[in-house]
A = this chain, B = another copy of it.
């Protein structure tokens, strides 16, 4: 039985111009279930860099909500372009299950091709380590430190306003609204 007020954090990055910006805003929204916002976290990571994993681990581990957090939702496996998150390390260092949420089944082959092209082949391993892409209802997920049955139950509680966990929808519109002055669309 999972509590309706289960504490989760949803993480997404803001928009950026890869020719102009060196750093990108990353926002974490801490919620109880899919309704009440408890707090907002933020950090900055390098465009196409390799520091997202450590920055996000630090952001979560130092926050006051940490002891209550039961699940981390990521909007895709990378932020700030190709700053790919090592989900296994994120799970290990925070001791919190991590769920990568993907709205459309990603073209992994194309991503791998790009990573080879931009000479960041080492990141292919991180994508593979994030595990199998599984469909749950109308979204796709990659699970680390949590089984499919539990992930399904948590998603049922936290996806209150859209197909996505509400914490992820909010992280998306907050990051966009802060960076551009107005959030567009609905995540």
Contact = CB atoms under 8 A, between A and B. Distances in A.
Interface stretch (A90-98, A99-107, A118-126, A177-185): A177-185
Given A64-B182, A182-B63, A176 B40 contact: yes
Contacts of A37: 170, 173
A174 B149 CA distance: 33
Contacts of A182: 39-42, 59, 62-64
Interface size bucket, A side? 20 to 34
A35 interface: yes
A62 B178 CA distance: 15
A174 B161 CA distance: 19
Chain A residues touching B, majority SS: mixed
Given A35-B35, A174-B174, A41 B161 contact: no
Contacts of A36: 161
A141 interface: no
A43 B40 CA distance: 18
- Copy number in the complex reads 2
A25 interface: yes
A173 B174 CA distance: 11
A177 B42 contact: yes
Contacts of A25: 178
Contacts of A62: 182
Contacts of A42: 177-178, 181-182
Interface string A55-91: 0000100111000000000000000000000000000
Contacts of A59: 181-182
Nearest to A39: B183
A27 interface: yes
Q: Which of A25, A41, A43 has the most CB of B within 10 A?
A: A41
